[in-house]
Structure 1
């Protein structure tokens, strides 16, 4: 704060009205002016003009413009009254300037009103460089409070200037920016509870239910959970092989022995319906004839033609094949092998040599030769196989169907594992193929909604036309098979909940259904689809599983008449989707979704 003196005041020349007008003209926010001195005080002595300039500290090396507040004592107007005290804001001369800013001169420049001692009024546009120290005698005119306040302001300004806060703040900001640029944030470890745990049922985990304790095994990737079956021949070693392999050797020896025995050459004929129904009524199911042969859902079955021993083979959805000697009542009467990686879609004992069991999976066709105790590889393909049947009585060639709709001819006598011929028959999907029992050049193929008969002699890569089309199906067809003796009938199972029988004795271009049987054919995703198969001993009768309760296996005549239902409330409590009938004896076997086989026999 700078104090300057002016000439003596003449209080007689200032009227009260002029004083009120000057107070009203004082701008809002200006410094409050002291009250007017008493006339006696003004008469007592001469007063000098008081001028106080307050300016804030320079920020960033630049001094802001000065501001002045004119007091009520100022404003002398053309001789009406002398100038009174004026309060102006100036930077205190005693405060040090910030670093880098120009220092104000110690004395006002020459020629200025302040230097001349006149009543100078500082303009707002002034750069403030002419502020200097006030005369010592000016402070004597201030009150004790004002002097103390001025002293505090001066000391505070010196203290904050000595701290150099701006320089410290800039230096800290620079150090913080450099530190942050080199800091690398560590990734937070993923908490175990944040991971989504996928629930898997006991069936998907391949865990045996019914309270069986399973040892804790460390979790492994699903791709490495199961061993893959290699290509090429595989030894006949069961999964439950123990140190003593005598039980397995006994089973294979039984298979070899019954294969060497020639079956009676009885001519296939159709007996009268009354006798046939009597034979069906004599076939019953007992607890001793139920056994879990494979681990998972049964997809295919085959029965050995032996008449002395009941020998059954079953394939499940995991590629496992189970062999069961039904006549052996011991627990060791069944053993399981794993020659495939995928579901065993079709199985047949060779009609020429029953020591050979041919099984078809998605990736390969194998022949289980008990004489050499190996599962030999007959054919392999990148495309998925669906079914097969023998083209000749000696079983040297086979017709194979693919899931993508094609068919192929495979010759077992040719070296290698490739097919001889691959043909596109125009199907989107081929589920089953079956060769005519008499005219071996014909075969019937069941596809998505198509069932057609083709001549294998005229197959080519593309553009194959069917010999006959069996019309009427509106949804996907699960199976189509010729009748076993003459091939004059074809039975189909369709997802439209109908069984259809066709007359194929003439092989017309289009054939309509001879009879239709309405029944529930929707097994769902957990059951193998029904396949209606003909009884080899009866030309006009076929067998098929059922969804009805109590659980049963039904026998129909080609006219649509229900002849018999195999059931047992105490022993049969599941759906038997896959069935097989013995070629010469009254034996029926049904397989369910848990790998169990049920044998109905006399």
Structure 2
């Protein structure tokens, strides 16, 4: 056949194999000048390349074409230079449904596409019709307009500028101690110094002042104190009770309405009981420097007198063991001795804001061991005319909260610090300082108190802020005292309650008493083995926490003080 080439079409499978062997077609080269036909007839085969199976049509254009149709997008996607095996779509606009149908028919009839591609194009066309019927774009535009129209205008708060050193710290005028600019500053009252007078240094008279009792009642109370102190003490010797008898006595102790009295105006920090047996005379000190005396036999009618020998809280007080007419009280600023026979509060030692506790080094109470908050201890001789320590030594504590002298070997004392409890020898303080005789280890937080057992000194009980009561064996005073028992006890009193102090009972040195946070409110009695022996409570008369306790040396009398200045006396 001259001037004409025979055209041979391959099967679809042969075309696909040929497509896999040959690279994808590139752009058509520019047209070359026509050549003259060959002289002899030749067979020429024209292969039409098919699109790769991995090639996908752009779905975004199909979904977004709401006015056109899937056929238009498919037509735009197909290169114009490709020859088409099927009929070309007609140009010009038309209905969307007609174009979709034509697209489906075209996809079904296109021999170049596989069954999978034809099914895919059909699904794309159906999805396009479905989303066009939903009118999502129109609905989104209407909602956006409604939201923009109803949105209120909110003025943004201007943020303060950050300081170069860090975040901006805002403080109110109250924290800055400033008055508002529109209000004038209040003038300090002229009588403020008269309302809160400062206690001067030196001896102070036991004056009546502005007290609860009248002059006659005050004289009667001081006369009772003097009379009790001058009585014979032959039958007031310490005697130990057996455990069965002691437990029975605790069960008989009761608290009645006449055994509750508000003696002080603020929180009780220390309590002491006069050793006389005929009458119960109680002394208490509060955080404002007041010392109150209460004759319990008078009940709720009279029998109370309050003195002001200190400026700060009264942390410790004891009746003199050799002269019960003397009451020694220690505050942060001074140690004083109130002698009812001379009606004078004499000053023994003064240190502004640094005193913490004291104890007697002798039965005659002439020499006193004083603890300081800065971690030192001092020995003060009351017979010396000067009010200064005879000996002062640093024992290596950050704080010295309590000091207690051994009942038999008076040269030894136990000191409780921040986290340390140790036994020292007074004779070594001048030379060795902080070298201890024995250490009571195991405390992880601050220790509130540590006291020897009253008769033999073979035990030491401590109260720690880690909610533990610990009892140690100090019979041999070895380098490290053995732990006898560790008792779980809630000692979290907080800032409004005085910290608990566990004190031994002089009548039974195997037992000690301590306040409790449990409900109903109670005062607990423990054995040194850790067993709770008894709990003193009263549903009608005791409704508060008694942090500080004291026991009578010979009678079944226990006194507890709370944070409102009220005393509770349990008696048999």
TM-score, normalised relative to structure 2: 0.66
Please point out which of 415, 419, 425 is paired with 2:395. Answer: 425
Q: Which residue of 2 aligns with 1:481?
A: 451
1:296 aligns with one of 242, 266, 269: 266
| Residues 472, 512 of structure 1: 8 Å contact kept | no
Aligned with residue 317 of structure 1, among 282, 287, 296: 287
Match of 1:82 in 2: none
Checking the alignment, whether the CA contact within 8 Å between 1:263 and 1:307 is kept in structure 2 is no
1:249 maps onto 2:219 in alignment:
yes
Report if the CA contact (8 A) 2:236-2:277 is conserved.
no
Deviation at 1:463, TM superposition (A): 3.6
Residues 383, 402 of structure 1: 8 Å contact kept: no
SS at match of 1:588: strand
1:368 aligned onto 2:338:
yes
* Mapped partners of 1:543, 1:492: distance in 2: 12
Q: How does 1:526-537 map to 2 (within 5 A)?
A: 526-537=496-507
2:319 and 2:540 map into 1 onto residues whose CA distance is: 32
- Aligned partner of 1:440 in structure 2 is 410
| Cα distance in 2, alignment partners of residues 279 and 196 from structure 1 | 62
Q: Distance in 2 between matches of 1:570 and 1:271?
A: 30
2 CA distance for matches of 1:191 and 1:394?
61
| 2:489 alignment counterpart | 519
CA contact (8 A) 1:239 1:338 kept: no
For residues 282 and 239 of structure 1, the distance between their equivalents in structure 2, rounded to whole angstroms, comes to 40
The correspondence of residues 232-381 of structure 1 with structure 2, limited to 5 A, is 232-241=202-211, 245-265=215-235, 268-329=238-299, 331-381=301-351
SS at match of 2:509: coil
| Offset at residue 519 of structure 1 (A) | 1.0
1:461, CA displacement in angstroms?
Answer: 7.1
**Distance change >3 Å, CA 228–CA 519, structure 1 → 2:** same
CA distance in structure 2 between the aligned counterparts of 1:270 and 1:366, rounded to whole angstroms: 32
Query: TM-score, normalized by length of structure 1?
Result: 0.63
Cα distance in 1 between the residues matched to 2:463 and 2:192:
36
**Aligned with 2:221: secondary structure?**
helix
CA distance in 1: counterparts of 2:479 and 2:212, whole angstroms: 58
In structure 2, C-alpha distance between the alignment counterparts of 1:396 and 1:229, rounded to whole Å:
25
1:331: how far off? 2.8
Displacement of 1:278 in angstroms is 0.4
User: How many residue pairs align between the two structures?
Assistant: 394
Measure the CA separation in 1 of the matches of 2:391 and 2:237.
34
Q: Deviations over 1:16-36 (max 9, x none)?
A: xxxxxxxxxxxxxxxxxxxxx
Q: In the aligned structure 1, how far is the partner of 2:191 from the partner of 2:182?
A: 20
Say if 1:487 and 1:504, in contact at 8 Å, map to a contact too: yes
2:479 equivalent to 1:509: yes
Residues 219-230 of structure 1 correspond to what in structure 2 (within 5 A)?
219=189, 226-230=196-200
How far off its partner does 1:270 sit? Answer: 3.3
Contact 1:234 1:376 in 2 (8 A): yes
Distance in 1 of aligned mates of 2:392 and 2:491 = 32
Equivalent residue number for residue 557 of structure 2:
587
Aligned to 1:30: none
Q: CA deviation at 1:272?
A: 2.1
Structure showing greater relative contact order (alpha-carbon pairs closer than 8 Å, 6 or more residues apart): 2
Deviation at 1:226, TM superposition (A): 1.4
| CA gap 1:194/1:512 in 2 versus in 1, 3 angstroms | farther
1:299–1:343 Cα contact (<8 Å) kept = yes
Counterpart check, 1:456 vs 2:456 = no
Residue 279 of structure 1 and its aligned partner are, at CA, apart by: 0.3
> CA distance change for structure 1 residues 506 and 377 in 2, over 3 Å: closer, same or farther?
same
Deviation digits for residues 479-501 of structure 1, max 9, x if unmatched? 00000110000000000000000
Counterpart in 2 of 1:400? 370
Q: Give me the whole-angstrom Cα distance separating, in 2, the residues matched to 1:596 and 1:193.
A: 44
Paired with 2:517 and 2:431, the residues of 1 have a C-alpha distance of 40
Q: Describe the shift of the 1:238–1:595 C-alpha distance in structure 2 as closer, same or farther (beyond 3 A).
A: farther
Residue-by-residue CA offset, 1:228-285 (whole Å, 9 max, x unaligned) = 0011111112343489511110000000000001223465343221111100011100
Q: Within 1, Cα distance between the matches of 2:353 and 2:288?
A: 18
Query: Structure 1: which 5+ runs fail to align?
Result: 1-189, 198-216
Task: From the superposition, tell whether residues 293 and 504 of structure 1 become closer, same or farther in structure 2 (CA, over 3 Å).
Answer: same
- Residue 495 of structure 1 aligns with which residue? 465
Of 506, 510, 520, which residue of structure 2 is paired with 1:540?
A: 510
| 1:520 match: secondary structure | coil
Contact kept, 8 Å, 1:269 with 1:539, in 2: the verdict is no
Does the Cα contact within 8 Å between 1:240 and 1:335 map onto a contact in 2? no
5 Å-filtered alignment, 1:67-78, equals none
Whichever of the two has the greater Rg, that structure is 1
Q: Is the 8 A contact 1:345 1:361 kept in 2?
A: yes
SS at match of 1:281: helix
Distance 2:212 2:543 in 1: 33
Which residue is 1:47 aligned to? Answer: none
Task: Quote the Cα distance in structure 2 between the aligned partners of 1:311 and 1:191.
Answer: 52
Q: CA deviation at 1:382?
A: 3.5
- Please list, as runs of the form range in 1=range in 2, the aligned pairs for 1:7-156 lying within 5 A after superposition: none
Change (3 A) 1:309 1:430: same
Contact 1:269–1:485, Cα closer than 8 Å, also in 2: no
Deviations 1:421-446 (A, max 9, x none): 11100000000000000000000000
Q: Taking structure 1 as reference, are residues 363 and 242 closer, same or farther at Cα in structure 2, changes over 3 Å only?
A: closer
